[in-house]
């Protein structure tokens, strides 16, 4: 005897809903494979959209510290305007079926003419901090510079990304013996280039930070507690991650961050210090923060192997003239004597391509990856790198350039 159908035994059985697993193929429903952070990152189609995601994720004071610049932010808006005003002169009927944007930067192999710039206090932007940036750089195959005011030690960063090309950025401390010890730590951990930053004898006047009452590390005040309500994930991560202080400083300096900051910048630094660094640093020596042809030449004459044309992302002196316009002249003057990199204001693959066509060996980006970091930690940094890579490849193909050597000045018109 056969068993009667379920509905005959139970008149309500028919009303039972099919299980989701049975429905899915019918309705072509797929379980979402991405978590909310990955979805947010995947939705961003360029760095500006990562910036919008960063603004939603981080407290205002933190976002403004990254996004802002000095005084009226004229230097930053002018350099961005210069990149936007670039006109390309694409060449056609060239075989661009295989684009190869790889190169070497400061002696390090790089999959793109791009490196992640040194940025301070990176754990403030996201609790994963420099380790997230280093790991993403390692995966992307591009170099990363650790900052002297970083929140991860050179040793910890090296241990967490053993195969990354790492550079070390130096603020020469008042205490030169301790500065030398720091330089030796970087050397011993395989940091291959020393970026001596020269545009920060004192901090620039960043009015957004003053208005926001930004403290480093962020302190619990009425305002920050109010901010917790709107950015709970950031605060929970911050409160459960103990270390956010300066990681490079000697223990003897104690733990007072304000005193430390006072020791970490020396307004009396001169070209003699560059000559001294040349005697203690065997690797590639780079002067970062050059904004005139005179300083470009003098840096090289005093021992630099390379320079970074940079206005520090507009965060130091406002109203400086454009480092992008200076680039062709500097490249011409220095010839083969030094490698020339450039940074400040770069947020698009096309900016990178234009700078390389105008003679830069490569570029550094700061905010571009920090927006990714704030929006989604390591995966956000990775996303920023991937977006830039895709844009670089597309721009090169449409310009008729297969390799970075094909990026020549005739492809670009500076306004
Ligand atoms: C939040 C932040 C922190 C920075 N900290 C440092 C630093 O510690 N040392 C340094 O040499 N440059 C620092 N810079 C400057 C970057 O190295 C780089 O010159 C600049 O970010 C380039 O401009 P961009 O952000 O528009 O790409 C910082 C920049 C930002 C945005
Ligand atoms: C005084 C500035 C220290 C970090 C830094 O370089 C930056 O915020 O741009």
* 150 labeled binding residue: no
Q: pLDDT per residue over 266-299, tens digit each?
A: 999 999 999 999 999 999 999 999 999 999 999 9
C-alpha Rg value of the chain to the nearest Å: 25
Name the nearest CA neighbour of 157 among 124, 185, 194: 185
Residue 1 has pLDDT above 50, yes or no: no
Looking at ligand 1, which residue's alpha carbon is closest to its atom 14? 119
In this structure, what token pair is assigned to residue 382? 């990775």
Give the pLDDT score at 251. 79
| Span from the CA of 119 to the centroid of ligand 1 (angstroms) | 5
% of the chain beyond a pLDDT of 70 = 92
* 288 labeled binding residue: yes
> Who wins on pLDDT, 215 or 210?
210
Q: DSSP secondary structure string, 251-281?
A: GGG-S-HHHHHHHH--TT--HHHHHHHHHH-
| Span from the CA of 27 to the centroid of ligand 1 (angstroms) | 49
Helix (H) or strand (E) holding 380: helix 367-399
Q: Does residue 131 have a cis bond before it (omega within 30 degrees)? A: no
Q: DSSP secondary structure string, 286-303?
A: EEEEE-SHHHHHHHHHTT
* 310 labeled binding residue: yes
Q: What is the mean pLDDT of residues 17-41?
A: 73
Residue 197 beta carbon below 6 angstroms from any ligand 1 atom: yes
Number of H helices, E strands in the chain: 19, 12
| Span from the CA of 62 to the centroid of ligand 1 (angstroms) | 14
CB contact burial 206-237 (16+ within 10 A = b; e otherwise): bbbbeebebebebeeeeebeebeeebeebbee
Task: Name the closest ligand to CA 67.
Answer: 1
Q: Which of 145, 313, 314, 315 to mutate to test the pocket of ligand 2 (most atoms within 8 A of CB)?
A: 315
Average pLDDT over the chain, rounded to an integer: 92
Closest atom, ligand 2, to C-alpha of 312: 9
Looking at ligand 1, which residue's alpha carbon is closest to its atom 30? 119
Q: Are 82 and 351 in contact (CB under 8 A)?
A: no
Looking at ligand 2, which residue's alpha carbon is closest to its atom 1? 203
Q: Which of 82, 119, 202 to mutate to test the pocket of ligand 1 (most atoms within 8 A of CB)?
A: 119
> 196 exposed, middle or buried (CB, 10 Å; 0-12, 13-18, 19+)?
buried
> Who wins on pLDDT, 280 or 31?
280
Give the pLDDT score at 238. 80
Q: pLDDT per residue over 277-286, tens digit each?
A: 999 999 999 9
State ipTM. 0.99
Spell out the domains of the chain, with CATH numbers in brackets. 36-413 (3.20.20.70)
> Who wins on pLDDT, 410 or 22?
410
Phi/psi at 340 (5° precision):
-120, 120
Residue 130 has pLDDT above 90, yes or no: yes
Q: pLDDT per residue over 354-369, tens digit each?
A: 999 999 999 999 999 9
Residue entry with tokens 């910890």: 156
Q: Are 145 and 195 in contact (CB under 8 A)?
A: yes
> Would strands 339-343 and 306-309 be described as parallel, antiparallel, or unpaired?
parallel
> Would strands 193-197 and 284-290 be described as parallel, antiparallel, or unpaired?
parallel
The question of whether 312 is a catalytic residue gets the answer yes
| Span from the CA of 305 to the centroid of ligand 2 (angstroms) | 24
**C-alpha span between 152 and 382 (Å, rounded):** 19
Task: Name the closest ligand to CA 65.
Answer: 1
Which distant-in-sequence residues (6+ apart) come within 8 Å of 188 by Cβ?
A: none
Give the pLDDT score at 9. 57
* 367 labeled binding residue: yes
Give the pLDDT score at 31. 63
Q: Which of 118, 137, 168, 316 to mutate to test the pocket of ligand 1 (most atoms within 8 A of CB)?
A: 118
| Span from the CA of 209 to the centroid of ligand 2 (angstroms) | 12
**C-alpha span between 160 and 131 (Å, rounded):** 7
Closest atom, ligand 2, to C-alpha of 200: 1
**C-alpha span between 192 and 163 (Å, rounded):** 12
Q: What is the mean pLDDT of residues 380-404?
A: 98
| Span from the CA of 371 to the centroid of ligand 1 (angstroms) | 13
In the 8-state DSSP scheme, what is residue 410?
A: G
Name the nearest CA neighbour of 152 among 246, 255, 258, 259: 246
Residue 5 has pLDDT above 60, yes or no: no
Q: What is the mean pLDDT of residues 46-51?
A: 98
Give the pLDDT score at 230. 87
Closest atom, ligand 1, to C-alpha of 368: 27
Q: What is the mean pLDDT of residues 66-70?
A: 98
Ligand 2, residues at Cβ distance < 6 Å? 120, 149, 200, 203, 312, 315
Confidence of residue 29 (pLDDT cuts 50, 70, 90): low
Q: What is the mean pLDDT of residues 45-72?
A: 97
Q: What is the mean pLDDT of residues 1-21?
A: 58
């Amino acid at each position: 005897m056969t068993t009667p159908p379920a509905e005959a035994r139970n008149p309500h059985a028919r009303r039972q809903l099919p299980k989701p697993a049975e429905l899915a193929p019918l309705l072509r429903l797929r379980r979402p494979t991405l978590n909310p952070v990955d979805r947010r990152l995947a939705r961003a189609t360029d760095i500006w959209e990562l910036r919008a995601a960063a603004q939603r994720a981080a407290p205002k004071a933190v976002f403004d510290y990254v996004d802002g610049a000095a005084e009226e932010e004229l230097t930053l808006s002018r350099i961005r305007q210069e990149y936007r005003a670039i006109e390309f002169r694409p060449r056609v009927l060239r075989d661009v079926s295989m684009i190869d944007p790889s190169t070497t930067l400061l002696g390090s192999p790089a999959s793109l003419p791009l490196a992640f710039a040194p940025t301070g206090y990176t754990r403030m932007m996201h609790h994963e901090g420099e380790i997230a940036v280093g790991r993403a750089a390692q995966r992307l195959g591009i170099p990363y510079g650790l900052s002297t005011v970083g929140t991860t030690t050179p040793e910890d960063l090296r241990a967490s990304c053993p195969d990354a090309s790492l550079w070390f950025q130096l603020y020469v401390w008042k205490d030169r013996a301790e500065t030398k010890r720091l330089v030796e730590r970087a050397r011993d951990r395989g940091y291959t280039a020393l970026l001596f930053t020269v545009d920060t004898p004192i901090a620039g006047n960043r009015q957004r930070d003053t208005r926001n009452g930004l403290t480093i590390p962020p302190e619990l005040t009425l305002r920050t507690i109010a901010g917790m309500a709107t950015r709970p994930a950031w605060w929970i991560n911050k409160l459960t991650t103990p270390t956010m202080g300066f990681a490079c400083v000697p223990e003897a300096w104690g733990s007072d961050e304000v005193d430390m900051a006072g020791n970490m910048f020396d307004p009396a630094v001169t070209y003699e210090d560059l000559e001294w660094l040349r005697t203690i640093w065997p690797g590639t020596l780079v002067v970062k923060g050059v904004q005139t042809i005179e300083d470009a030449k003098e840096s090289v004459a005093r021992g630099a192997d390379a320079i970074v044309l940079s206005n520090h992302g507009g965060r130091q002196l406002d109203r400086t003239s454009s480092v992008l316009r200076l680039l062709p002249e500097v490249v011409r003057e220095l010839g083969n004597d030094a490698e020339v990199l450039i940074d400040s204001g770069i947020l698009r693959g096309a900016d990178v391509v234009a700078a390389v066509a105008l003679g830069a060996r490569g570029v550094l980006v700061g905010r571009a990856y920090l927006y990714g970091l704030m929006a989604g930690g390591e995966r956000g940094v990775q996303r920023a790198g991937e977006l830039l890579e895709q844009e670089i490849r597309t721009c090169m193909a449409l310009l008729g350039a297969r390799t970075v050597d094909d990026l020549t000045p005739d492809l670009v018109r500076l306004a």
